[in-house]
Amino acid sequence: MRRGYVAYAALLAMVILLFTGCDALIGNAFKAANLGQPSVEKIKELDTAALVAQAGITSGSVSDTFIQTIISDDATKAAVLATLQTTVDTGSASDAQAAQALILDIKLADIGADEVISNVNGAIGELASLSDSEDVKPADIINTLLPADLTGEALADFIDEIGALGTDVDTLAQKITDNGGTVTEGLDVATLAQTAALVKFVNIVDPADGYSTGEAVAQAVADLKADPDADVTKYFDKEPDISSLADDATLKTLFDAAGLGDLLDQLSGSGS
């Protein structure tokens, strides 16, 4: 059980299961599209169509410059999120998908998830090697996946903020369902499915009384980095049921839309 909690504490056990031996790796959504440095004042005034276009959300290559400019100013971020939310609430299912996807990208960038996702994408080969080694230590997995400065309270906050995106990924999946299962053209649903898997994994971690999910994981990570034999089960009420992810309606919608339904079964451990 301790080895299982090592992976749970890193939040990315499912990434190893999902990507090991997989030919089609999900790419990093946070790619620069070289659109130049936009003005925060101008961005505030853009409608959803312009925001989606300038962000590159339906081009398969999101503009890191544009996203970073949005989150650099609280008023701009609030205005953009409000504009996008209106489209999610009242727009067509197709337009709502793009708006909701952009909301997710903005929130992910705002909490620094792009750096963690980049770490994961760059460490797929090393993770596969570690997962096959009998001598791997908890710290080896943790250090491979998480940025060095993401520890303690920062790690706890990060995990809790990831978990808080549950409603956002549920809404995106519902908009795809409302559109007859058709994904808005150009939307990188594979990366969105990866994001949803991370969010849903956090949501099934059951911390012990007195801890938030993030606090429990951060404590476990700290203990395991200091002592590979540390008993971290005290921070959790029970071991997460990874197999339940295969039955999650949001994940099924997103993985099926991305053509990755079989990988969801592998992720949950229910595949062959």
Residue 250: pLDDT band with limits 50, 70, 90: very high
Looking at residue 1, what is its pLDDT?
Answer: 44
Is the separation of the CB atoms in 41 and 72 below 8 Å? Answer: no
Q: Which residue type sits at 64?
A: D
CA distance 38 to 126: 37
The predicted-structure confidence for 82-108, as pLDDT tens digits, reads as follows 999 999 999 999 999 999 999 999 999
Specify the pairing of strand 206-207 against strand 236-238. Answer: antiparallel
Is the separation of the CB atoms in 215 and 163 below 8 Å? Answer: no
Q: Which two tokens stand for residue 223?
A: 């203990």
CA distance 186 to 190: 11
Residue 62: pLDDT band with limits 50, 70, 90: confident
131-136: average pLDDT: 56
Domains of the chain, residue spans: 2-268
**221 sits in which H/E element:** helix 213-226
CA distance 2 to 178: 42
